[in-house]
């Protein structure tokens, strides 16, 4: 059973136990969901789409779109690495 399912079940059953006179209090944390894994082919496709862009855009704007995408991707990778290091994983 997933952590979110356990949490939802607890909230439903807690009221039933309170009605029956049983004090049922537990501290539960909602589990963290990992982000979806993207393989390298997906990333290459996104870069190609950013370079392709719209028909009306100049080559400068197409390159800018690709650079912005790569910059955003780099920042997210660094943030993910820092999060892994902090969690001790």
pLDDT digit string (tens) for 41-58?
777 787 777 767 667 778
Judge if 83 and 58 occupy the same domain: yes
Q: Is residue 72 domain-shared with residue 83, that is, in the same domain? A: yes
- Please indicate, yes or no, whether residues 24 and 39 belong to a single structural domain of this protein: no
Dihedral (CA of 75, 79, 84, 86) sign: positive
The answer, yes or no, to whether residue 35 has pLDDT greater than 80, is no
Is this model's pTM higher than 0.75 or not? no
29/47 same-domain check: no
89 and 58 fall within a common domain: yes
Cβ-contact 17, 29 below 8 angstroms: no
CA gap 81, 16 in Å, rounded: 44
Residues 49 and 85 in one domain: yes
């Amino acid at each position: 059973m997933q952590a979110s399912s356990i949490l939802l079940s607890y909230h439903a059953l807690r009221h039933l136990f309170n009605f029956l006179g049983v004090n049922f209090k537990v501290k539960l944390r909602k589990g963290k969901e990992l982000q979806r894994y993207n393989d390298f082919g997906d990333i290459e496709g996104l870069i190609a789409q950013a370079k392709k862009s719209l028909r009306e855009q100049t080559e400068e704007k197409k390159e800018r779109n690709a650079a912005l995408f790569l910059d955003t991707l780099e920042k997210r990778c660094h943030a993910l690495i820092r999060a892994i290091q902090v969690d001790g994983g």
